[in-house]
Structure 1
Amino acid sequence: MFSRTRTSVVAATAALALTAGLGLTVTGAHASGSKPSGPSGSSESSHGSAWTAAWAASPQRASTGFKPNWSEDGFSGQTLRQVVRVTEGGDRARIRLSNAYGTSPLHIAGATIARTKKGGGAAVEGGSVRRLTFEGRRSVAIPAHGQLSSDQVGLDLKPFESVTVTLHLARTTGPATFHAQSFATSYRADGDHVADAGGGAFDESTESWYFLSGVDVAGGGAAAGAGAGEKPRRSGGVVLFGDSTTDGFASSTDRNRRWSDALAERLADAGTRRPVLNAGIGGNLVLNDSAWYGERGTARFGRDALDLPGVGTVVVLEGLNDIGFSESDTPTYKPAPKVSAAELIAGHRKLIRAAKKKGVRVVGATLLPLGGSDHYGERAAKVSDEFNAWVRTSGEYDAYVDFDRALADSADGERMAPEYDSGDHLHPNDAGYRAMAHAVNLEQL
């Protein structure tokens, strides 16, 4: 679903050199010397405890779609400040950066991580700023098509705490690998303000994330098992994989009201807290790539879901764009092939096989009601019904969650209930995202 608003030897050698030191992992087309990750994408910190993904965003190539953003112009002589909320705590942290769609090395002149000042916009909590290094150095170049993890820093973080990651981009970056729809405010300033506690220099803002693909934690809550009043911790984080509904389209900006946020909060309220990671991309399709809406789900599933550190379960909700774009008059994805239920099911079977091969539990989801939306038509409705019947009855997923029935209007099952509808008859509102979280049987995760 979507918003209508819309290799060279030298590089390989450089990437190999970057991976030689402790704490720095570089992967990608030019990173032939990277350290492999462990089961379910887990990796060890230098103190021997496993890293856990506490926040994630799926990378996309630069595009003009959706709201105005800085991805195509990129950055030059500027500082970028981004705020994210973690769903796991720890006493150490690191970041993951992506240059997946860059055509030249991305130079990071400096980076910091800090606890976000409550209600402070671009400001951070005094005394919490930590300089990030990469193999012990404050600056680093990420090869084209590569990604890396920083060294660890000591930073006490609690679940559901917001952290601010700041990058100084002294050189011209070119088009930026980014995540288009953040539903959170990011900030930009001219010059080097990477260590500023105040936000006064950051006089530009946007609703996208750039280069930042993850925040991982270790120690503390991430390693200690069940906390006070909690049941024994279950195995691994939960990744929600999908399109704009997973991404949180139409949720309230800067309020963390996506269904991933609601599910993480519900798990915590039930005493079974687990990190919940969002791997949605607005407009994404299972079967086809898009210039605006990311690589097809079957191509990005490993990178964006299965390979995240500490993953135990993936919930897959995707397919409405595959069947609905051909019904729409919007020009953002044309020509859109007419996809059958059999073709969509075949795509989902690829995801199931990949998850099972990785040893990750995989939960399917029925597609939400789409009646009255620009994705709706007689053919799309028929394919949606056939696909949903397969999810419910085939037993091919380890379990399933029935969003179609949970969010349907009691007076017209083809439509989303008015109290859950954002207004486009396709995407939920904040209440709808909460209803999605409450539709999940937590035992099946």
Structure 2
Amino acid sequence: MSSPKVRASVVAAAAAASLAAAPPATAETRTTWNGAWTAAAMRPSGSPWFATWAEQGFADQSVRQIVRVGSGGAKVRIRLSNAYGAAPLRITGASVGRTATGAAVRPGTIRPLRFDGSTSTTIPARGRTVSDPVTLPTKAREQLTITLYFKGATGPTTHHQLSMTTTYRAAGDHHRDTAGAAYTDRIEPGFGSWYYLEGVETSGGRPQPRAVVAFGDSITDGFGATIDGDDRYPDALAERLLAAGRPHPVLNAGIGSNKLLSDSACGGDAGVSRFARDVLGQPRLGTAIVLIGINDIQLPDDRMCGVDRDDPPVTAKRLIDGHRTLISAARARGVKVIGGTLTPYRGSAGWTAGGEEIRRQVNHWIRTSGAYDAVADFDRALDPTGTGRIPDGLHMGDLIHPSPAGYEAMADAVDLGDLRR
């Protein structure tokens, strides 16, 4: 296995390549853009747990997606990704507006989006693009509705599998509709996904503190939170900051089933691979909170995704080396990095005594090594007495994923003073 220094240089190189692949500079180069929302891109593989539209894609359909932004401003623009596309992607039309109820947009707020002056754009396979900015005053924790219209067939889509937010679909071109009547399609029971939408950025207005990016797996992504409730742990942290008069954008870069060391067909690229794109590529990044590794421990293969493949054996040392890789890459970019202790999972389907010992060793290193700039003790937040089990009321019923109350307890474990301004 390569040294942490070598692997950190690989992550840093990937970050540079990611930034080099960004859209070319425009007249907006001198404008300060703040990351307001993000979703980590995934390949269009099937999920054993959630239905999505990713594999079938879209054709002569409008897709309406709702996000809650973490920073306000006078102008808005969106980032779109075709990172896992096998062919160029044609966006025929797009719009943004303030969310009303369901798929409806508040009257008078919908803004058509352009791309280099055009109402449509083509994103190359494995490429990305950013829209031209539009004037739309926003404030932190406000919901925006983004609509994309695809006239031609997209094929399988780059997406984010688990949004915990309802996404709507309509036949035909309805990207400028204020009403939501045409958006009769949604996936039940409503866990939702985001499609092609990689980020939302804001500029203008009051200066914003630097962004906080929460990086991890489904416990960061928010499985177990309230559908359409925006009460994942990064949401609860954003609300704490807003109440304290320090409204940092808190960007959620979690992926359900994600692993630190191994790629997964339905759980996304390994954390050590995607950290550069999903964390270090965010605008005005100040702090990263890292919580990842429990899936490496409890899911030692990719059979959950229908793939007959075993991961290399996981040890505490390998996980610690992976964490050191992320720390080195973040520090090389001047980013403050907070280590989150791995949360309890005793009693869940994947628990083993051997896995529990690995979790204990990794958590001991996170707490005592000084490798991270600070520690968020999520383990103790969910299990104050150290039993290794999340108590009833703080998990969603499976003894591994927190409930909304558990997510709030996790957010309370982050010392606001540890976040870089």
After TM superposition, the score normalised by the length of structure 2 is: 0.91
Pick from 333, 337, 341 the counterpart of residue 362 of structure 1: 337
- Structure 2 residue identity aligned to 1:186: T
**Match status 1:48 vs 2:30:** yes
The corresponding residue for 1:237 is 211
Any idea what the Cα deviations from partners look like across 1:319-359, whole Å, max 9, x if unmatched?
A: 00011113999565642443000000111111001101111
Match of 1:92 in 2: 75
Residue in structure 1 matched with residue 8 of structure 2 by the alignment:
none
Counterpart-to-counterpart distance in 1, 2:117 and 2:99:
25
Q: d(CA) in 2 for partners of 1:128 and 1:33?
A: 28
Q: 1:27-426 alignment to 2 at 5 Å?
A: 34-35=23-24, 46=28, 48-65=30-47, 66-117=49-100, 120-206=101-187, 207-221=192-206, 223=207, 234=209, 236-326=210-300, 334-408=309-383, 410=385, 413-426=387-400
Give the secondary-structure state (helix, strand or coil) at the position aligned to 2:186. strand
The residue that corresponds to 1:17 in the other structure is none
Query: Aligned-pair distance for 1:409?
Result: 5.6
Cα shift at 1:48: 2.9
Say if 2:66 and 2:146, in contact at 8 Å, map to a contact too: yes
User: In structure 2, what is the equivalent of residue 23 of structure 1?
Assistant: none
- State the match for 1:442 in structure 2: 416
User: Is this contact kept in 2: 1:79–1:190, CA < 8 A?
Assistant: yes
- For residues 76 and 49 of structure 1, the distance between their equivalents in structure 2, rounded to whole angstroms, comes to 36
- Return structure 1 stretches of 4+ with deviation > 6 angstroms: none
| Aligned equivalents of 1:269, 1:327: Cα separation in 2 | 42
Change (3 A) 1:298 1:55: same
Separation in 2 of the partners of 1:90 and 1:297?
31
Distance 1:45 1:291 in 2: 40
Residues of 1 paired with 2:221 and 2:413: CA distance?
Answer: 18
Is the deviation greater in 54-63 or in 335-344? 335-344
Taking the aligned partners of 1:189 and 1:358, their CA distance within structure 2 comes to 42
Deviation at 1:158, TM superposition (A): 1.1
CA separation of 1:143/1:373 partners in 2, compared to 1, >3 Å: closer, same or farther? same
Q: Which moved more, 1:368-377 or 1:256-265?
A: 368-377
Q: Displacement, 1:376?
A: 1.0
Structure 2: how far apart are the matches of 1:288 and 1:332?
16
Partner Cα separation in structure 2 for residue 80 and residue 263 of structure 1:
29
Structure 1 pair 330/211, CA: closer, same or farther in 2 (3 Å)?
closer
One-letter amino acid matched to 2:184:
D
Change in CA separation of 1:332 and 1:428 when aligned onto 2, cut-off 3 Å: farther
Tell me which residue corresponds to 1:20: none
1:171 CA drift (Å): 0.8
CA contact (8 A) 1:328 1:375 kept: no
Aligned to 2:10: none
C-alpha distance in 1 between matches for 2:217 and 2:22: 33
Flag structure 1 segments of 5+ consecutive residues without an equivalent: 1-26, 37-43, 226-233
Change (3 A) 1:103 1:429: same
Partner-residue secondary structure (3-state), 1:54: strand
CA separation of 1:170 and 1:353: change in aligned 2, threshold 3 A: same
Letter in 2 for 1:91: A
Q: CA deviation at 1:47?
A: 7.7
Contact residue 103 and residue 179 of structure 2 kept, 8 A = yes
Structure 2, unaligned runs of 5 or more: 1-16
TM-score of the two chains, using structure 1 as the length reference: 0.86
Residue identity in the other structure for 1:290: S
Conserved? CA contact 2:327–2:337, under 8 Å = yes
Q: Which amino acid aligns with 1:393?
A: T
CA-to-aligned-CA distance 1:210-239 (integer Å, 9 cap, x gap): 000111000013x3x5xxxxxxxx4x1100
Q: Distance in 2 between matches of 1:46 and 1:328?
A: 43
Query: Against the structure 1 CA distance between its residues 47 and 320, is the aligned structure 2 distance closer, same or farther, given a 3 Å change threshold?
Result: closer
The aligned length equals 397
The C-alpha deviation readout for 1:356-384, integer Å capped at 9, x for no partner, is: 11111111110001111122111101100
Question: Is the contact made by 1:240 and 1:277 (CA closer than 8 Å) also made in structure 2?
Answer: yes
Residue 46 of structure 1 and its aligned partner are, at CA, apart by: 2.1
Give the distance between the partners of 2:141 and 2:319, measured in 1 at CA. 35
TM superposition shift of 1:310: 1.2
Do 1:327 and 1:375's aligned partners in 2 also have CA atoms closer than 8 Å? no
Matched to 1:167, the amino acid is: L
| Counterpart AA for 1:258 | R
- How many Å apart are 1:165 and its aligned residue? 0.4
Q: Distance in 2 between matches of 1:330 and 1:49?
A: 45
